[in-house]
Amino acid sequence: MKAAILVQQHAPLVVAELDLPPLGVGQVLVRVMYSGICGKQLDEISGRRGDDPYLPHLLGHEGAGVVAAVGPGVRKVKPGDHVVLHWMKGTGIEALPPQFRWQDTVVNAGPVTTFSEYTVVAENRVTPIAADVPLDVACLLGCAVPTGLGIVFHDAALQPGQSIAVFGVGGVGLNVIQGAALVNAYPIVAVDLYEHKLAWAQHFGATHGVNAGSGDPYVQLRRLSCGQGFDVTVDTTGHAAVRALAYRLTSTAGKTILAGVPALGEPLCIDSFPLHFGRQLRGSHGGGTQPDRDIPRYVQLYQRGKLKLAEQITHRYRLEEINAAIATVQRGEASRCVLVMAP
């Protein structure tokens, strides 16, 4: 099979032919049809969280495809099933990670990888879906969509009429905004450095947009919150200054949700006094998503025309073009960038 391999940090991925390992207990062989590209992969390539001890290894943690075979003990799916591939743990066996062969080199992989024509994943990293759901939009349900929606529904428990400000309108932030619109929050404020991303945000339900590179964002956002701060603020960037700003703009009894992963060794400095009097600060791990519960619900919302998925895909690349795709995401040009595996 053809796969994109992270051989060295701060370097392009290498596209090469790998040998598939035999399936072990709890493992599922999936023909990957589409894969998304998330910020996590950019962090792994750039070393934002430090040196990588598992090189060389495969990347990708959201995708969709068709089950080709199952290993011993697998009961959740069968060959021919259409599935979403996700990094969040669902039900089923937490299988040992596979090891692939690249000529004489061992290539490592985690419980799920998606930058390849085929992949071997743990049973608890797949969720079956109906065969009539387009797999290109289904691949978005592996990370960005459930994380963003989960932040709204689970982490923040956002209520109708409550206010929210979302810092960073990438894949996760856009779906936080979409989720906020679904529960009729107001105002829904998108904050970003790119005007085209603020325009996307309005298409997905933002009522206001603030360009953080134009003027003082604190002053603009404080005004939009009527001087009270927001009921919920969400940071998807992971940058210390942005996280601190989100916290400052949270109301007295509001919630600050930190979804973006910080760089290694980058601390967050805040005034913790308000935490003793009702303000809440918490990190988000995939929006508290339970794949077996939430992914079918989101599929239903999509099928009923309530959830925009196809509209999120702005770029498509072949697997052979993986490095161009990654560069597009790094430049902030994409809403969601999808890798197309099948000819």
pLDDT digits (tens, 9 = 90+) for 240-286: 999 999 999 999 999 999 999 898 889 999 999 999 999 999 999 99
Of the candidates 83, 84, 86, 3, the one whose C-alpha atom is nearest the C-alpha of residue 40 is 86
pLDDT digits (tens, 9 = 90+) for 10-35: 999 999 999 999 999 999 999 999 99
Assign domain 2-142+309-340 to its CATH architecture: Alpha-Beta Complex (3.90)
Judged against a pLDDT cut of 90, whether residue 342 lies above it is answered with no
Residues of the chain with CATH 3.90.180.10: 2-142+309-340
Candidate from 48-52, 118-122, 320-324 with smallest mean pLDDT: 48-52
Assign domain 147-285 to its CATH architecture: 3-Layer(aba) Sandwich (3.40)
Judged against a pLDDT cut of 80, whether residue 343 lies above it is answered with no
Residues of the chain with CATH 3.40.50.720: 147-285
Please state, in angstroms and rounded to a whole number, the distance separating the CA atoms of residues 228 and 233.
Answer: 13
CA 249 to mean position of chain CA atoms = 24
Percent of the chain exceeding pLDDT 70 equals: 100
What Cα–Cα distance (Å) separates residue 236 from each residue in 56, 88, 179, 190, 216? Answer: 28, 18, 15, 11, 19
Residue 48, φ and ψ in degrees, nearest 5? -60, -30
Of the candidates 16, 75, 42, 52, the one whose C-alpha atom is nearest the C-alpha of residue 328 is 42
Please state, in angstroms and rounded to a whole number, the distance separating the CA atoms of residues 256 and 249.
Answer: 9
What Cα–Cα distance (Å) separates residue 170 from each residue in 157, 182, 189, 293, 335? Answer: 21, 18, 14, 24, 6
Give the bridge partners for 17, in sequence order.
2
Show the tokens assigned to 177.
């905004």
pLDDT at 61: 97
Residue 317, φ and ψ in degrees, nearest 5? -135, 155
pLDDT at 68: 98
pLDDT digits (tens, 9 = 90+) for 159-171: 999 999 999 999 9
pLDDT at 265: 87
Q: What is the mean pLDDT of the chain?
A: 96
pLDDT digits (tens, 9 = 90+) for 178-235: 999 999 999 999 999 999 999 999 999 999 999 999 989 999 999 999 999 999 999 9
Q: What is the pTM of this model?
A: 0.96
